[in-house]
């Protein structure tokens, strides 16, 4: 079997890394396509994955329209050469359109529920894989599975944190530290968002520095006031660093959710939020969601200080993590089965959703 995977975000590389290696070990061929976005090429190369880059993303509304046609055309060209049996992505319009053009099925993961994108790719997509939490995407194409994207690579079977990262970070034994993440707000689903103000970013760093060492990861260049706090290690070591942190704080739902998978408290700021971070708050008490309003930004900082000063919080969160893991599946193992047995796997999941509990 030949599988073509389109990547739109660094988190999507992580989502499909273990799947790709597992499929290759089972004598299948896997090809990646992508655009030049922060860390994407580095992650693909570090993991020895074959890819074709289509160049830089477009950031303006007009540029995104141009990109829709340009990247779809480039996807079509790769399909003509690679001849995939299935195209796989996380909500990629380019993969959906190209799959339609070459008459092959497109299977999409979905967890952001940006209907601006969904309305474009859904008509050209055969199957959409979503979490089991409540959402507004109602379609016979939807197959819910009991897991989070982040469990495709942070499930205990697939990830074991390396304590060497503490020495690499210059962290002393038992020294608490926090990882903050700021995004560029350039994606189509980010229109109308602004994130934290620079004043409150600085305020947060000052407040947190009284209780922990602060590291910042940012899609945008950091201002001079925050540059000394830049996360100093290669992106491939971020999950190892997160696994020993005391708090994940910022504008990235993915990183906050990744922290939860590792049993680390998280604070997420976004006006619309994410359904999976809401479930992580309401069902497991592992994440705290705030809006981007100035008032909520200050509340989020206060909550961060509260978490950093709570005794035995790491032990509490590890217990919450164990509960969460007992109620979720190994997403990579599930995906390998789903793709190898497609389209029969669709009917299996519709007839017997409990079948997925085999993948634990």
**Whether residue 130 is found in the same domain as residue 272:** no
pLDDT in tens, 280-331: 999 999 999 999 999 999 999 999 999 999 999 999 999 999 999 999 999 9
Do 149 and 27 lie in one domain? The reply is yes
CATH number assigned to the domain comprising residue 339: 3.40.50.2000
234-258: b (≥16 Cβ within 10 Å) or e: ebebbbbbbbbbbbbbbbbbbbbbb
Domain of residue 255 covers 164-325
Task: List pLDDT tens digits, range 152-167.
Answer: 999 999 999 999 999 9
Q: Are residues 267 and 351 in the same domain?
A: no
Q: Are residues 258 and 338 in the same domain?
A: no
Counts for the chain of helices (H) and strands (E), in that order: 15, 12
Q: Which residues contact 200 (CB under 8 A, 6 or more apart)?
A: 294, 297, 298, 301
Q: Please give the tally of structural domains in the chain.
A: 2
* Cα–Cα distance measured from residue 337 to residue 240, given in angstroms and rounded to the nearest whole number: 28
In a 3-state reduction of DSSP, which class is residue 91? coil
Give this prediction's pTM. 0.92
Reading the block at residue 56, the tokens are 């830089």
* Measured distance CA(103)–CA(124) in Å, rounded: 10
122 and 151 housed in the same domain: yes
For residue 3, which of 48, 140, 16, 111 has the smallest C-alpha distance? 16
Domain match, 122 and 40 both: yes
Q: Answer yes or no: do 320 and 338 share one domain.
A: no
The pLDDT profile of the chain, 360 residues, written as one tens digit per residue, is 999 999 998 999 999 999 999 999 999 999 999 999 878 999 999 999 999 999 988 878 888 888 889 999 999 999 999 999 999 999 999 999 999 999 999 999 999 999 999 999 999 999 999 999 999 999 999 999 999 999 999 999 999 999 999 999 999 988 999 999 998 744 544 445 467 999 999 999 999 999 999 999 998 889 999 999 999 999 889 999 999 999 999 999 999 999 999 999 999 999 988 999 999 999 999 999 999 999 999 999 999 999 999 999 999 999 999 999 999 999 999 999 999 999 999 999 999 999 999 999
Cβ atoms within 10 Å, residue 54: 20
Query: Does residue 265 sit in helix, strand or coil?
Result: coil
- Do 126 and 168 fall within a single domain? no
347's CB contacts (< 8 A; 6+ apart) are: none
Distance from C-alpha of 1 to C-alpha of 25, rounded to nearest angstrom: 12
- 307: helix, coil or strand? helix
Q: Give yes or no: residues 14 and 135 share one domain.
A: yes
Q: What is the pLDDT of residue 191?
A: 46
Cβ neighbours of 218 (radius 10 Å): 22
Please tell me whether residues 148 and 8 are part of one structural domain: yes
Separation of first and last alpha carbons in the chain? 25
Q: Which residue has the tokens 């090809």?
A: 31
C-alpha closest to that of 32 among 11, 8, 56? 8
Per the listing, tokens 């669709």 go with 346
Whether the Cβ atoms of residue 275 and residue 135 lie closer than 8 Å to each other: yes
Residues 129, 86, single domain; the answer is yes
- On whether the CB atoms of residues 125 and 107 are closer than 8 A, the answer is yes
Distance CA 249, CA 300 (A): 9
331-347 as b/e: b if 16+ CB within 10 A: bbbbbbbbbbebeebbe
Rg (CA), the chain: 20
Q: Do 314 and 194 share a structural domain?
A: yes
> What DSSP line would sit under 158-187, residue for residue?
T----THHHHHHTPPTT--EEEEEE----S
């Amino acid at each position: 079997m030949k599988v073509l995977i389109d990547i739109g975000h660094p988190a999507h590389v992580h989502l499909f890394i273990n799947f790709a290696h597992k499929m290759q070990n089972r004598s299948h061929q896997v090809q990646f396509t992508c655009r030049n976005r922060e860390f994407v090429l580095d992650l693909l190369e570090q993991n020895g994955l074959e890819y074709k880059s289509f160049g830089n993303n477009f950031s303006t509304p007009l540029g995104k329209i141009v990109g829709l046609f340009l990247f779809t055309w480039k996807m079509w060209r790769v399909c003509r050469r690679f001849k995939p049996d299935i195209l796989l992505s996380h909500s990629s319009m380019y993969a959906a359109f190209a799959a339609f053009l070459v008459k092959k099925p497109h299977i999409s993961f979905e967890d952001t529920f940006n209907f601006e994108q969904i309305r474009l790719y859904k008509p050209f997509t055969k199957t959409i894989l979503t979490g089991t939490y409540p959402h507004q995407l109602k379609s016979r194409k939807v197959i819910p599975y009991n897991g989070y994207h982040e469990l495709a690579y942070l499930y205990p079977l697939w990830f074991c944190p390396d304590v060497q990262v503490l020495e690499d970070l210059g962290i002393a034994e038992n020294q608490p530290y926090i990882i903050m993440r700021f995004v560029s707000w350039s994606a189509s689903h980010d229109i109308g968002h602004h994130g934290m103000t620079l004043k409150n970013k600085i305020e947060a760093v000052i407040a947190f520095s009284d209780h922990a060492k602060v590291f910042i990861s940012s899609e945008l260049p950091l201002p001079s006031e925050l540059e000394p706090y830049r996360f100093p290690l290669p992106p491939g070591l971020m999950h190892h660093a997160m696994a020993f942190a005391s708090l994940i704080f910022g504008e990235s739902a993915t990183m906050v959710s990744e922290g939860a998978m590792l049993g680390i408290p998280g604070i997420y700021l976004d006006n619309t939020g994410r359904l999976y971070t809401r479930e992580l708050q309401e069902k497991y008490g592992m994440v705290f969601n705030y809006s981007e309003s100035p008032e909520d930004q200050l509340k989020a900082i206060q909550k961060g200080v509260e978490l950093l000063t709570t005794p035995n919080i790491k032990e509490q969160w590890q217990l919450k993590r164990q509960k969460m893991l007992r109620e979720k599946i190994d997403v990579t193992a599930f995906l390998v089965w789903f793709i190898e047995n497609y389209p029969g796997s669709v009917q299996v999941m519709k007839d017997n959703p409990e079948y997925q509990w085999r993948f634990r």
